[in-house]
Amino acid sequence: PDVDEPTLAMTLSAIESLSSIRKSRSKREVTKPDSRGAKLRDLENSIATLDHRQNRAVIDTVEGVQRIRGLAGSGKTIVLALKAAYLHTQFPNWRIAVTFNTRSLKGQFKRHINNFCIEQSGEEPDWTKIRVVNAWGAPGGDERDGIYYEYCRATGHTFSDFKTASYKFGGNERAFDGACSAALSFESPPTELYDAILVDEAQDFSPAFLKLCYRMLKDPKRLVYAYDELQNLSGNSLPPPEEMFGVDANGRPVVTLVGDDRRDVILQKCYRNSKPVLTTAHALGFGIYRQIPANATTGLVQMFEQPALWEEIGYRVTDGVLAKDSAVAIQRTDETSPPFLASHSPLSDLVIFKRFDTEAMLNEWLTKEIEKNLGEEELRHDDIIVIHPDPLSARERVGPIRKALFELGIQNHLAGVDTNADVFFRNETPSVTFTGIYRAKGNEAGMVYVINAQDCAGAGSGLATLRNRLFTAITRSKAWVRVLGHGTKMDALMEEYQKLLEREHRLEFVYPSDDILGKMRVLHRDLSPQERAKREQKKTQAKDLATALERGDLNPDDLDDQTKSRLLKMLGGHK
């Protein structure tokens, strides 16, 4: 019989047990039919069923490694939660672990798994069999446990906490990689602790952690890892599994996913970000319309190693050729970016870049906007996230805004500071969430404010990481995003966004050659604190040399011919 669309959607949602997962955290009360709150309610109700790729990723259980790649907002976290719960209901005696980088995802995973298990079996999950566990961990009971700590416990390897690992392995960024690598090199009997391990945000882990997870599995090594290459905040890309897991005694890869779409799942469709929001994030994240610096051949900050990946994540070519060293224009399709995600508001309201003369003026404007969001526009406190991209200075920089909101009677909190590290949104009392970029990952809200975005402009080392922070912040938005900054660096970002608007959200660029890709990786890579200090020391020494030559304290003839020749050759093409 003929079935109307709403009934069909409800039926599919019930079959897939997604109703309770896609719902908001609490009931939405609105009185104005066209308020932001009403628009957000309608938008949330529209996203109720899994598409066929997500559905297959949940149901397909492969013997061995499975990789799930997808854009921010393509449903990777929900797919992993559903997959974990599905395996638990199908194989209740299996020991299953779900792990992640962002600790605030812990509650989200537990809620999703709990709801799905109840809808599937009528019973809550057995939390002794299915564990939602931190990646690192520490002594102190089940809540503080972690995959790495459990591995050390099982093998007898000495556990390193963050402080110890940072000291041992050279800085914060290398701490966990060093700790996992050291644990892997420790001779021990096989540690087959789990039947399946599911890893979210794999782009923020080093290969050593994934290999450690692999080693903790019973045969046939059911490891599922999900990631989005551009949300990588460390500046290092995950190598392909053939390279990551090594070769066997015959020289064949231990793990290969080539030609098997059940093992290598790509989620093309984005259900969180509208086309304007997502293309803005990609344009700024890659530096598509960034002005070409002097003595450079491209303004691009980074680029996928394989051109075909653009089509795999839902773009199509509208002009040119998608190949290295070729000009190309690409845009998202209605199939991969459903139009209803953008149709609720005018284009000019979906994404706004705004520049202020000072940070104080930015803070004052934002305070008034949040007050209006909660009052006139019927948004809830948990519909709003304020993100400061730099995790180290977030506490200090958001302080004046938070103080001004408190004075207006608007409750707010800094995630992971005013709350437990595993909490992002406060449930016990309405409260606006402020956050640094690391805790923002994996979370979403209707209205996202990215403040001090100018910190993500600039040039040179670390730029790829800064642009990834901006990409990640923008893609937290389910509906509206405001990118706010001050000073001349913000002007540069606004020019990039304006060029995107002029091209109607098409991405037009010359795909870098292998040679240029290599130079970009070197130029924009992140440096450790030690490397940064060493580079600054060398720059000071170079300035001292130039000053000494200018003053006559040192004569060019005092330098040997080989040194002079090398300096002239190296500096000959630079102004």
CB neighbour burial string for 243-276, b if at least 16 within 10 angstroms, e if fewer:
ebbeeeeeeebbbbbeeeeebbbbbbbbbbbbbb
Structure tokens of 96?
């299953």
Helix axes 463-474, 514-524, angle to 10 degrees: 90
List Cβ neighbours of 243 (8 Å cut-off, separation of 6 or more): none
Helix axes 275-286, 463-474, angle to 10 degrees: 170
Residue ranges in the chain whose pLDDT is less than 50: 1, 11, 14-15, 19-20, 22, 24, 527-528, 531, 573-575
What is the structure's pLDDT at 261? 84
CA 173 remoteness from chain centre: 16
Helix (H) / strand (E) containing 447:
strand 445-450
What is the structure's pLDDT at 24? 47
What is the structure's pLDDT at 9? 59
Q: Distance between CA atoms of 575 and 571, rounded to whole angstroms? A: 8
Helix axes 76-90, 105-121, angle to 10 degrees: 40
H runs (alpha helix) in 48-104:
52-59, 76-90
What is the structure's pLDDT at 14? 46
Helix axes 207-215, 172-185, angle to 10 degrees: 30
Closest CA to 484 of 498, 470, 472: 470
Contacts 24+ apart (CB under 8 A), 296-302: 297/516, 298/510, 298/512, 298/516, 298/520, 300/509, 300/512, 300/520, 301/463, 301/464, 301/467, 301/520, 301/524, 302/464, 302/467, 302/520, 302/521, 302/524
